[in-house]
Amino acid sequence: MDATPGGGVGRANVGGRLSASAGLALLIATLVFVAPAQASSIFFLRSDNIWVANPDGSDAQQVTSDGSAADPYNFISSAKEGSAPLLAFHRGTEGASNGEYGTISPNGTGETANPHNGEMVDDEQFFTRIDNAGNRVTWAAKQNTAAQSFFASSVGVEGGSPQVLYNLGGMDARNVTFGEPSGASLLFTDTGGNYYFNGNVEEDPCEDSDIYLPILVRQTPGPSGSNTGASEPVLYCDTSTQFYDPALSPNGQLITAQAESNQVGSSGQVVTIPIGGSVSTPHVVSPMTQITPANSGDSLPDFSPDSSQIVYQGPGETIYTVPAAGGTPTQILTSASVPAWSSYSLPTGTSSGPGPGIVPGNTLLVPPSFKSLSLKTRTIHARAGLTLKIALSGAGTVVVELELVGHHHKLKLVGTVKLTGKAGANSFTIKRVHGHTLAPGSYKLVLYTENGSSKSTTRTLSLTVKR
């Protein structure tokens, strides 16, 4: 607020003095004017560990030091209230027994596995959110050990009051977060498509022929053990758009998500949808505001504690902030991923020494980041080989792990290839892995860069090999 006369704060002068009411108004205006902005920070992942920085990316500090390639931290989220808000995390490698969902203090101490950790089966992205107050966490669990479909769940950070939206048909819940500030309802991506099963009733809100087009669903779970929700599902969809990675603004008014066209070769962008923008009649799609450009490769958005800004992961392991109403994005970090905006105020000038705790000025070797990453074509013939188009922020080693997707989506590592890249654009063709051409089938490519003992956050690509 501008406290000058031209800025809308006037003065009533009575006998050369301010009147009591005008003086009080001026005092309130002055206090409002000088109040500092809400303290906050942004947590993120780098080199298998949790880091934190100011909202402009300055004073980046390492929070944990026990993460490694064999047991990395690979997802982080933060509560939005209080000076020491809890963080929710996942760590461990996909499919391994060391996977752990838990909570940790913002200074890196007090790491605790959730009592329901054994039920919190990895959902490929290890996505977990904590509510504003830091009382509950979410995850997507498999319906049973053989099923490849998931249901949305939340539980107290101490393990109490579990809530579940069971899989009732075509629902396949991923990217589970909270659908209201109190944490009572759940918001998630339904990758089963816009044929949403509510009980045994098949609903098609978008009337789109592509039944695998992911939508967003918001619903309150029923009592423990119930097979139905306590509320009707609220659906957000578009006839040509896939939605992933939702987050709700702390004031409960906006949803932000990664949106991606269903056209081949498209990539993500950040959008917002008003909380009331649900689909209630056929062919009426959810209203969206495009926050970042289409096909910009942006993902994993999260709101600031005051709901005014969004932080998100850009291509090549970069992190940006942007006004929630739209505007020009600002890049704040490189070699960083999975941002989580927090109400935590970053300390400076302190050190806890080695081990868990904030370590200011940490100088780990930072590997180059991916500025862009793509396959020349996602379907190849075995003898032709695959071609990677990679742009790097600096020279370094690119590691490519090739995993064959088998029955029930089980992954089998068939080989690892290391490539030497230069700063800028690179093109690599891989025709053989350990002396053999790739067998026909579907593959998942896991890529990261190395610098000494440090490695970047992994990126994944999908590939189909034909005879």
CATH number reported for the structural domain that contains residue 453 in this entry: 2.60.40.1930
Compute how many other C-beta atoms are within 10 angstroms of the C-beta atom of residue 448. Answer: 19
User: Sorting pLDDT into bands at 50, 70 and 90, what band is 70?
Assistant: confident
Boundary (domain end) residue, out of 298, 328, 360: 360
Tokens encoding 399? 């590691």
Average pLDDT along the chain: 79
Q: Is residue 21 assigned to a domain?
A: yes
- Is 270 within the bounds of a domain? yes
- Does residue 325 sit in the same domain as residue 430? no
Q: Note whether 216 and 190 are within 8 A (CB).
A: yes
1-5, 23-27, 234-238, 408-412: which has the highest mean pLDDT?
234-238
| Interacting residues of 265 by C-beta distance below 8 A, sequence separation 6+ | none
Are both 64 and 212 inside the same structural domain?
Answer: yes
Q: Is residue 381 part of a domain?
A: yes
Instruction: Compute the average pLDDT of residues 361-375.
Output: 71
- Specify whether 90 is located in the same domain as 168: yes
**pLDDT range class, residue 290, cuts 50, 70, 90:** very high
Using the 3D structure, point to which of 360, 380, 408 is the last residue of a domain.
Answer: 360
Contact status, residue 215 vs residue 243, Cβ threshold 8 Å: yes
Largest CA distance in the chain: 95
Within this chain, do residues 116 and 156 fall inside the same structural domain, yes or no? yes
pLDDT of residue 398: 93
Among 41, 49, 76, residue whose Cα is nearest residue 364: 49
On whether the CB atoms of residues 128 and 139 are closer than 8 A, the answer is yes
Residue 400 and residue 302 share a domain: no
Residue 269 domain-assigned (yes or no):
yes
* pLDDT of residue 350 exceeding 90: no
Domain of residue 413: give its range.
370-466
The whole-angstrom separation of Cα 39 and Cα 104 is: 20
pLDDT of residue 387: 94
At 339, list the tokens. 């941002």
Same domain, yes or no, for 12 and 94? no
pLDDT in tens, 134-158: 999 998 876 655 555 678 889 999 8
82 & 228 share domain? yes
* DSSP string over 84-140: S--EEEEES-TTSTT-EEEEE-TTS---EE-TTGGG----SS----B-TTS-EEEEE
Instruction: Decide if pLDDT at 355 tops 50.
Output: no
Query: Are both 322 and 415 inside the same structural domain?
Result: no
How far, in whole angstroms, is CA 344 from its chain's centroid? 18
Q: Which residue has the higher pLDDT, 22 or 178?
A: 178
Confidence of residue 412 (pLDDT cuts 50, 70, 90): confident
**Residues 127 and 177 placed together within one structural domain of the fold:** yes
**pLDDT at position 337 over 80:** yes
Better pLDDT: 313 or 96: 313
The string of DSSP codes covering 403-454 is EEE-GGG-EEEEEEEEEEE-SEEEEEEE--BTTBPPPSEEEEEEEEEEETTE
Fill in the amino acid letter for 272: T
d(CA 330, CA 338): 16
pLDDT confidence band for 34 (50 / 70 / 90): very low
Q: Evaluate whether residue 73 is within a structural domain.
A: yes
Q: How far apart are CA 185 and CA 153, in angstroms?
A: 10
Is it the case that residue 385 has pLDDT exceeding 50? yes
Q: Answer yes or no: is 365 within a domain.
A: no
The two structure tokens encoding residue 263: 């056209």
Q: Indicate the residue among 308, 331, 360 that finishes a domain.
A: 360
Burial of residue 148 (CB within 10 Å: 0-12, 13-18, 19+) is exposed
Q: Structure pTM?
A: 0.68
Percent of the residues in the chain that have a pLDDT greater than 90, as a whole number: 41
Contact in structure between 415 and 98 (CB atoms under 8 Å): no
Contact 299, 258 (CB under 8 A): yes
Q: Tell me, yes or no, whether 186 and 225 share the same domain.
A: yes
pLDDT winner (highest mean) among 341-345, 420-424, 434-438? 341-345
| Pair (27, 98) in one structural domain | no
DSSP calls for 257-289: EEEEESSTT---EEEEEETT----STT-PPP-E
Q: How far is residue 315's CA from residue 456's CA, in Å, rounded to a whole number?
A: 13
Domains in the chain, number: 3
Q: Is 409 exposed, middle or buried (0-12, 13-18, 19+ CB in 10 A)?
A: exposed
Same domain? 18 vs 159: no
Q: Lowest-confidence range among 36-45, 119-128, 350-359?
A: 350-359
Q: Specify the CATH number for the domain of residue 122.
A: 2.120.10.30
Task: State the sign of the Cα–Cα–Cα–Cα dihedral 454, 456, 458, 462.
Answer: negative
Contact in structure between 313 and 321 (CB atoms under 8 Å): no
Distance of CA 328 to the CA centre of its chain: 20
